[in-house]
Amino acid sequence: MQLVVTLVAADPHDLAAALEAVEIAVAGGGTLVGEADLLGPNAADLPVESAAPAVVREQAEAALAGRRVDVCVQPAAGRRKRLLIADMDSTIINVECLDELADFAGVKAQVAAITERAMAGELAFEGALRERVAMLTGLGLDALQRCYDERVQLNPGAETLVKTMAAHGARCVLVSGGFTFFTGRVATAAGFHDNRANTLIEDGESLAGLVGEPILGREAKLAALQEEVAALGATPADALAVGDGANDLAMIEAAGLGVAYRAKPVVAAQADARVDHADLTALLYFQGYRVEDFAA
């Protein structure tokens, strides 16, 4: 089987040594390794002939231990995806919007503690969301815009990731267990074609402490992936899913390439690849895009 091992370094100066370490580790197991192909200043492909991708990944990850370099091992065929389906909070953006909203209500510590447990898979997402939203009862609607303006930023590489895939014909959808107020704005800023999220119930002046039902959680994110690929006449193998929390796990496991971005351990352990060091353009390099292909 023709595999490709993609390395993406946080610092371009670390790439050459990382490539050498991985090549030695993989070839040392008797695997045929081809010549490295530079994709960008901090990224390269290493072609490998092997019927055991899990073994190659294990060898590569061991060789990269202690280095600020991310790796993806996958079949060379079909690596460029037709659908990007991405989580929002702590993936495409820098914060958990609900935690930041809670700060405006004076209950951030309590809400953030529940968020942490829910994202780690220790609490059922739906119940945890209802509990946290209830703590925002009476918060003025002006706090939502202030929260977006003052707290929310796209993570490095997010806009380049989305706009590059879109420019090359992929459909890009933001799916979030958060709220449409934020996903609509973030989707526009990053260049997503569509967004799906939960709705905060309000009375025209303040939040009612309720969230619209049914709640978009783990299974709804998986359903979104399935519906989107079906609409494209594709299969889940044609999708790239990225997220960080337990409610992202079903879509990450179903996608042809499921990526854990700065993720909780329960997610990182199950994903096809992890991005712990580089920015979100790593997802482009994993698909074989070159830096000159990136959208400006």
Q: Which residues are annotated as catalytic?
A: 87, 89
Give the integer Cα–Cα distance in Å for 71 and 6.
6
Question: Which tokens in the block code for residue 193?
Answer: 């074609």
Q: Are 252 and 270 in contact (CB under 8 A)?
A: yes
The CA-atom distances, in angstroms, between 71 and each of 15, 21, 79, 218 are 11, 12, 14, 26
In 3D, which of 10, 219, 207 has the Cα closest to residue 98?
207
Q: Determine if the peptide bond prior to 214 is cis (ω within 30°).
A: yes
Question: Which tokens in the block code for residue 186?
Answer: 């973030």
The full DSSP string for 237-295 is: GGEEEEESSGGGHHHHHHSSEEEEES--HHHHTTSSEEESSS-TTHHHHHTT--GGGS-
Contacts of 173 (CB under 8 A, 6+ apart): 83, 84, 85, 86, 192, 193, 194, 195, 196, 224, 228
Tokens 């490539």, residue located: 19
Contacts of 138 (CB under 8 A, 6+ apart): 105, 206, 207, 209
From the DSSP assignment, how many helices (H) and strands (E) are in the chain? 12, 13
Give the integer Cα–Cα distance in Å for 90 and 132.
17
Residue 21 CA to its chain's centroid (Å): 27
